[in-house]
Structure 1
Amino acid sequence: MALAALDQVKLLLVCPQCRSALVAGDSAFHCVSAACPYHPADAFPVVGRLPVLVDFERSILRRQDLVGPPRAAGGRLPQLVRGVWKPLNRVAVRNTERLLRLLPGPAPTLLVVGGGTVGNGVAAVYADPRVQVIGFDIAPSAMTQFVADAHQIPLADRSVDAVLVQAVLEHVLDPAQVVSEIHRVLVDGGLVYAETPFLQQVHAGAYDFLRFTASGHRYLFRRFSEIDAGTVAGPGTQLLWSADHLVRGLTQSTTAGRLTRGALFWLRYLDALVPAGYASDNASALYFLGRKRDREMSPKEIVRYYRGAQRPR
């Protein structure tokens, strides 16, 4: 694993509220600013080995929820079953390998937002000995160095070379604020790779908030130049999700829905037959690979950006 040591990460940490430096203790961290409400010595508790750097006044997270042992990094499904239920994300494999090739220098830092587990298809990020991976999530995990809310990333300005955010932005209340934070912590010219659902059913209960069209996803990253963008999974996969959840609704059984998904797994292979424009309009999920810039995409530019199959009359 290429996870950066916690002692290295501590040098980059800042207060999530005022962005002043932090003082690290054995059982808690605190802000150095006497004017900050997180100045008391026990302001940011350590759970297990991880500091909990959350501004609870501005977050939906609750202090009492962040207790207990870190969760495991692996999946719960047997490998054979997982291959049918959730096959390897080959789009992520291709794009993360490209991201790694674009990273500069001998020891670049890469931040994984929502990195409590190794995402589908992004294992190469953790296997590259050149890359120093920093990860955080909203709960302790063996794959992270701190707990945080992505709306207030507790890292210094221009402190990382790249950011990976996979299947996270639908679970935050204000994606634009999270992307703004990603822009802030990236070095000038830094890279971002994002994967986000478009046509998918609710899959995290009360913590599932938003979806994005291809144009909406691009505009979310309007302060980045585009290197590449496209579909992670197309209409066939979207139909598979719908069949699963239709059966769940008719039978009120999650198991029945999952069995339906297993029986109709072949639908996802229809994605390869759908032209790119139609796939973009009906995608299950989308990706964006881009580079930080100062200029912001204009409203007129995003209208011209549309690449789908629907043409103006």
Structure 2
Amino acid sequence: MPLAHLDGIRHLLVCPRCRSALAAEPDGFRCTAPGCPRARPGDGFPLAGRWPVLVDFERSVVDRDAVPARTAGNTERLPAPLRRVLKPPNRVAARTIDLLLRALPGPAPRLLVVGGATVGNGVDAVYRDPRVEVIAFDIATSPVTQFVADAHHIPLPAGCVDAVLVQAVLEHVLDPPLVVAEIHRVLRDGGLVYAETPFLQQVHAGAHDFTRYTASGHRYLFRRFEELAAGAVAGPGTQLLWSLDHTVRALTRSPAAGRATRTLLCWLRALDRLAPPGFAEDDASALYFLGRRREREMTAAEIVRYYRGAQ
């Protein structure tokens, strides 16, 4: 797994408040800018175990006291057959990530994973490619991240990465346009982004679930990117399965009953393959976007013309 060692990327880390360089201290880091509040003794960035916590807590929903206790979940504990039923391989992501990897420039491209506490479904090729240096962060500590950070204020300098992966994350941030602006900022000219975001899915992650996007809304979110590929990750069959799962949960007050329903009716996912692309986008469970960084934004007229659904 080409996950960069923290020592190898330490020179890239900057203050999330003012983006100045950081100085290492025995108990963490502090900003080197004299006027920055994060430069004052005791107001720097602590460690959670071996992970630097590079969060500007005054501007974040991340709780300073909760960070050391947070640990990323591990779905790999489920038996493999049940895991494939509840969370089948994401073939759309795998195909699109292959396109991204083949488009990356140079012998040692750098890829940033936003919200990377777990290796996402269908994107594991990123971690197997010997060329790619992977940098990853989340608001939870994890063996596959180097630091803790808030995606609204990424503690990296402008133009320092060749690609960004943000899978099933943007629904969990308060301000997705700000996060996408940060992704645009840290990408080099012509850098690539792969994003996956829900459209028709029920609430998950409780109080940390905020947003959904139509295909046109998702495209406009990435309006400062040239589209290379986009569409439905999962269509109406998967969307129906989500709805039945959560309907049973609501009627029985039992998440286990909902999961059992999803297992018994897993064949409904096959309906995704029967839906034409326009219908699939209008009724998608989730959407994806692969794009290349640019400066020009889509106009209002362009996003209205962009719609390619069935209506």
How far off is 1:76 after superposition?
2.6
How far off is 1:71 after superposition?
4.0
Equivalences for residues 1-313 of structure 1 within 5 A: 1-42=1-42, 43-68=44-69, 70-71=71-72, 75-310=76-311
SS of 1:57's equivalent in the other structure is: helix
**What is the CA–CA distance in structure 2 between the aligned matches of 1:80 and 1:166, rounded to whole Å?**
23
TM-score by length of 2: 0.98
**What is the CA–CA distance in structure 1 between the aligned matches of 2:128 and 2:285, rounded to whole Å?**
28
**What is the CA–CA distance in structure 1 between the aligned matches of 2:294 and 2:75, rounded to whole Å?**
35
SS of 1:62's equivalent in the other structure is: coil
What is the aligned length?
310
**Percent identical:** 68
How far off is 1:72 after superposition?
6.4
**What is the CA–CA distance in structure 2 between the aligned matches of 1:122 and 1:25, rounded to whole Å?**
35
**What is the CA–CA distance in structure 1 between the aligned matches of 2:67 and 2:170, rounded to whole Å?**
21
Structure 1 unaligned regions, length at least 5: none
Residue type of the partner of 1:16? Answer: P
- Structure 1 residues 261-287: Cα deviation after superposition (integer angstroms, max 9, x where no partner): 000000001000001100010000000
Residue type of the partner of 1:17? Answer: R
**What is the CA–CA distance in structure 1 between the aligned matches of 2:69 and 2:107, rounded to whole Å?**
37
In the alignment, is the contact (CA less than 8 A) between 1:73 and 1:118 conserved in 2? Answer: no
How far off is 1:68 after superposition?
3.5
Structure 2 unaligned regions, length at least 5: none
Structure 1 pair 298/291, CA: closer, same or farther in 2 (3 Å)?
same
- Structure 1 window deviating more from structure 2 (75-84 vs 10-19): it is 75-84
**What is the CA–CA distance in structure 1 between the aligned matches of 2:225 and 2:118, rounded to whole Å?**
26
**What is the CA–CA distance in structure 1 between the aligned matches of 2:112 and 2:153, rounded to whole Å?**
14
**What is the CA–CA distance in structure 1 between the aligned matches of 2:277 and 2:70, rounded to whole Å?**
44
In the alignment, is the contact (CA less than 8 A) between 1:74 and 1:117 conserved in 2? Answer: no
How far off is 1:44 after superposition?
0.2
Structure 1 pair 62/212, CA: closer, same or farther in 2 (3 Å)?
same
SS of 1:115's equivalent in the other structure is: coil
Structure 1 pair 73/30, CA: closer, same or farther in 2 (3 Å)?
farther
How far off is 1:139 after superposition?
1.2
Residue type of the partner of 2:236? Answer: P
- Structure 1 residues 268-308: Cα deviation after superposition (integer angstroms, max 9, x where no partner): 01000001100010000000000000000001100000000
In the alignment, is the contact (CA less than 8 A) between 1:111 and 1:163 conserved in 2? Answer: yes
How far off is 1:59 after superposition?
0.4
TM-score by length of 1: 0.97
In the alignment, is the contact (CA less than 8 A) between 1:70 and 1:142 conserved in 2? Answer: no
Residue type of the partner of 1:246? Answer: T
In the alignment, is the contact (CA less than 8 A) between 2:200 and 2:284 conserved in 1? Answer: yes
SS of 1:52's equivalent in the other structure is: strand
Q: What RMSD, in angstroms, separates the aligned Cα atoms of the two structures? A: 1.1
How far off is 1:34 after superposition?
1.2
**What is the CA–CA distance in structure 1 between the aligned matches of 2:8 and 2:40, rounded to whole Å?**
24
In the alignment, is the contact (CA less than 8 A) between 2:109 and 2:132 conserved in 1? Answer: yes
- Structure 1 residues 49-105: Cα deviation after superposition (integer angstroms, max 9, x where no partner): 110000101001110001147546663311111011110001111111111000000
**What is the CA–CA distance in structure 2 between the aligned matches of 1:4 and 1:74, rounded to whole Å?**
24
**What is the CA–CA distance in structure 2 between the aligned matches of 1:305 and 1:209, rounded to whole Å?**
25
In the alignment, is the contact (CA less than 8 A) between 1:73 and 1:116 conserved in 2? Answer: no
In the alignment, is the contact (CA less than 8 A) between 2:70 and 2:140 conserved in 1? Answer: no
**What is the CA–CA distance in structure 2 between the aligned matches of 1:291 and 1:63, rounded to whole Å?**
35
How far off is 1:11 after superposition?
1.1
In the alignment, is the contact (CA less than 8 A) between 1:29 and 1:41 conserved in 2? Answer: no
- Structure 1 residues 177-204: Cα deviation after superposition (integer angstroms, max 9, x where no partner): 0000000000011000000000000011
